Structure formats: C-alpha cells, structure tokens
Amino acid sequence: MNSLLKTHTSTLLGQAGILMCFALLSSISNAAIGDAAEAAEHKAKSLEIYRTIVEIPTVAGRGNGQKIVDYLSQEFVVAGFSPDDIKTIAVDDAVGLTVRYAGKEGSNLMPILLLGHMDVVEALDSDWERSPFTLNEDESYFYGRGTIDNKYGVSMLASTFVRLKKQGFVPNRDLYIVFSGDEETTMFTTEKLAYETAYLRDAEYALNSDAGGGSLNTNHEPVGYNVQAAEKTYATFEMTIHNPGGHSSIPRPDNAIYELADALKAISQYRFPINSSSVTREYFRQNSLKVEGETGSAMASFAADPTDEQAVALLSRKAHYNGMLRTTCVATMLSGGHAENALPQSATATVNCRIFPGETIEGVKQQLVEVSGLTDKDIKLLVPYPESPTSDPRDDVMAAVRVAVDTISPELPMVPYMSPGATDGMHFRTAGIPVWGVSSGFMRAEDNFAHGLNERFPKKSFDDSLDFWTVLLKELTAPQ
C-alpha cells in the first residue's frame, strides 16, 4: 500500500511550493480557526490539559499510566466523543490510548494517525530547582518534566480534538490519536499499537508530535522548520574474545585483551560506505544555503552528487554530519581479565551502531566481522530493534504542514531530516505506515532540556502554536 504513496521531495521546497502555500494561507479564514472567544476558550483548555498531565508523574514503574488515560478519556467524552471510540491497551503498568475522530460517513479514505507519548523520563525533586511534577512558570517559560517531551505534544493534539469536535468539524476520513505509554523505556505499548491494533494498521500515514518542529535563533526568532522523515536503526553488539589464559609471568602472543584491542582499532579506522536518501540530500541542500565556506559548498556538492569524493571527505570529518552520511559504529564499553597477575581469559567490548535506513543489522554485523577479523560467533547482537525505513515526504502532506507553519511564521525554510533515533515513529514506519515528525513547537537549541534537569518550554511558543494542529488537520481532511 505504502509504496504507492512515495513521492519525491525535489520540488517540495521550491519556489512553486512557496507560492502555492501563500495562496492556501489566504484561504484559511478566521471562521476556519474560530473567533476570539473560541480561541480564548481553546487556549484555556490547552493550558488546563497541559497543567494537569504535567502534574501526573507518568514515569515507568510509578503506576500512573491509567491515571493520565482516565483523565484524557474523560476530557474526550465531555467534548462529545463516543466512549466506544476511546480505547486503551495496557502492558504491565504502561497504558496506551487511542481516540477515533469519526470522519465523513461512507468515506473510503484511509485514516491518519496522530502520535504522541504520555510517559516521561524520571525526574527527582531533590535535583530540580523547582518541583518537576508541578507546572511552574515565570515570565518566559513553563517548567516541569514533560513540558517539551512529550506532554506539550499530547496536550496540543488532545485540545485540538476537543476544539474540532466542539466546532462540529467532520473530517473527510477517520483521524486517530495514538498515545503510547512507554516510549521512553520499553516501547511495548508502541509495539502493540503499531503491529497488533487492527484498526490502526490500514492508516495512510502518521504525524508525530514527538519529533520535528521549529527552530528559534538565540534572539527567539524563527529561522526554520524541521520535518523528521527517518530515524537511524539502533543496534548494539557485544564482542567477546576468549582465551585459555595462564600466569602473567609467562606471557604468550595470544592474548584476549590484545586481540580485542586490535579488533577495536580496526573498527575505529573503518568508514562504512556512503549512503544517502531523498531526505538526507534535501537536508544537505537546505543547509548549504545557511552554512558558509567550504562546508556549505561541500553540502551543496553532496546534495547534487552523493558520489562527490571531495565533498564526502570534508563532511565526514565533521562528527555531526558524518552520521548523516553513513552507518556509524563506535565502542562504548569495555571489560576484560579477572586478576592483575593472570592472562585474561576473556575481554569484551560493547559497540553501538546507528544504521542508515535501508541497511540491515545483519549486513552491518557482517562488515564488523570482516573488518575486525573476529568470527560471527564472537559478535553478538544485544536487543533486536526494528529496521525502520525512510518516509519520503509527500508533497500534499508537506503543503498542508507549510500552511500550518505559516500561521506561526511565514516563509520559513522547511528542512527534512533523519534523526539518530528513536521515537514511536520507528515502529510505525517498520509496520509500513509512513511517519513525519511535525511538532508544533518552536524552540531555541539552548532551551532544550528534554530528558535533563529543569526541562522547560517557552510560553510564547505555546501561545503561537495553538492553531497549528487545527489548521493542519483541516488542510489535510477538509480540502477547500
């Protein structure tokens, strides 16, 4: 089904696209969004949901998965959703939630999924300046665990469903909110939702509130909008060398630590083959317009011709861009030996790989075997994560995103990107459903404390993005 949906990005961001989007922008009337009173009501509801869910500590193991689901379900029912359209799936203490927004009766268009996750990374009161599970605020920021990741996205999607329902809006197909309950840990609820939930399987595509979004510069001005279209596959290998060992007073040439060191040295010098996709080429093309000097021209050359050796050599030397050019593997942990006066009986290294979409975990393992001189048996894959493909951006979906972005700041460059992973999107892509990360939030790089201490979200971005999902969903499901 999905192979039919793939299109090229080459024309996506061109002049014609920008002109078309202006025409669409002017077609969004105030009535489509709502009048001042309706907008104020939507703002208050969004904030109320945000505050309530930030204050529920949905950390793995704390048993609050059902609490947030009960609260959100209640909001949907009050707004007019049928309880039959609200479903939960539980795995241990993690609970996932789906909400169907019924589309036009008799529509044979495939549903659109809207992704978010309700769980958050642990945060300890004693470490934070303010209590992490109270929505604190000052003039400029909201503070609290999840204020970015991903309770901002969850509240925006939830309040948009509430708003559209109150407006009496009927989309031309079913929309589904799909909130997972353990994205930050095991992703078991995500797996159930992506692979085992029949009514989600024939979705046309999914939009993820947990990736992508706008960039602000240091002066809080919007400078670009990023669409996450791929995630690298995650694979960790353990390499172990065994040896009979012996007394350290009688060293022999065969030595587990030396052999492992040689293997690691070889891996450190190995460069995986260059790879590219429509997404990474467009990423480099767009960045070449912003980055000056030889790096900028290397980006332009690579975007035009990914076999350009000079461009590849230059970009490979920059750690950040090297990961966009190829699979990477790096040693991250090391152990070996059992006594200071004994020849080591074993030595083990952990090697973490980020695999370019389309390449296989097994293929990467075979390259490691070849390069390191170890055998297939010496190298063990730890957890088998899925190999998720790239979702080539679709012109019609990106045109709708453009209209929504324009409500915040018009004429921004829209840049697709591949992230080192991983979000819920990975599983849905693997399940054959294209996913684009299109958060409504605009952030400065220096404000991003997701997963860290004192997570915060700019209040202005919250206010500016209140219409984003309303406009986007209307563009996608109620074409003018």
Q: Which residues bind Zn ion (CB under 5 A)?
A: 149-150, 210
Give the nearest distance from C-beta 450 to Zn ion in angstroms: 7
User: Hey, what amino acid is at 454?
Assistant: N
CA pair distance 144, 56, nearest whole angstrom: 11
Give the nearest distance from C-beta 423 to Zn ion in angstroms: 6
Q: Which is nearer to Zn ion, 58 or 286 (CB)?
A: 58
Q: Which is nearer to Zn ion, 120 or 203 (CB)?
A: 120
CA pair distance 309, 331, nearest whole angstrom: 27
Q: Is 126 helix (H, G, I), strand (E, B) or coil?
A: coil
Give the nearest distance from C-beta 148 to Zn ion in angstroms: 8
Q: Which is nearer to Zn ion, 34 or 96 (CB)?
A: 96
Q: Which is nearer to Zn ion, 145 or 192 (CB)?
A: 145
Q: Which is nearer to Zn ion, 167 or 186 (CB)?
A: 186
Give the nearest distance from C-beta 10 to Zn ion in angstroms: 30
Q: Which is nearer to Zn ion, 452 or 479 (CB)?
A: 452
Question: Under 8 Å CB-to-CB from 444, ≥6 apart: which residues?
Answer: 215, 216, 217, 218, 220, 458
Question: Under 8 Å CB-to-CB from 350, ≥6 apart: which residues?
Answer: 236, 237, 238, 239, 331, 332, 333, 334
Q: Which is nearer to Zn ion, 207 or 379 (CB)?
A: 207
**Looking at the chain, how many residues does it have?**
480
Q: Give the position of tokens 């996913």.
A: 435
Give the nearest distance from C-beta 276 to Zn ion in angstroms: 27
Give the nearest distance from C-beta 210 to Zn ion in angstroms: 4
CA pair distance 24, 227, nearest whole angstrom: 20
Give the nearest distance from C-beta 153 to Zn ion in angstroms: 8
Bridge partners (DSSP) listed for residue 353: 235, 329
Question: Under 8 Å CB-to-CB from 138, ≥6 apart: which residues?
Answer: none
CA pair distance 359, 390, nearest whole angstrom: 11
CA pair distance 441, 103, nearest whole angstrom: 27
Nearest CA to 72 out of 11, 159, 14 is that of 159
Q: What single DSSP character describes residue 204?
A: S
Nearest CA to 157 out of 83, 209, 95 is that of 209
Q: Which is nearer to Zn ion, 58 or 150 (CB)?
A: 150
Q: How far is CA 151 from the centre of its chain?
A: 14
Contact 314, 295 (CB under 8 A): yes
Contact 180, 117 (CB under 8 A): yes
Give the nearest distance from C-beta 246 to Zn ion in angstroms: 50
Give the nearest distance from C-beta 391 to Zn ion in angstroms: 18
Q: Residue 232, class by beta-carbon neighbours within 10 Å (0-12 exposed, 13-18 middle, 19+ buried)? A: buried
Contact 203, 111 (CB under 8 A): yes
CA pair distance 46, 49, nearest whole angstrom: 5
Bridge partners (DSSP) listed for residue 120: 59
Q: Which is nearer to Zn ion, 178 or 241 (CB)?
A: 178
Q: Which is nearer to Zn ion, 111 or 153 (CB)?
A: 153
Q: Which is nearer to Zn ion, 378 or 424 (CB)?
A: 424
Give the nearest distance from C-beta 211 to Zn ion in angstroms: 8
For residue 341, count other CB atoms closer than 10 A to its CB: 7
Give the nearest distance from C-beta 214 to Zn ion in angstroms: 17
Contact 105, 98 (CB under 8 A): no
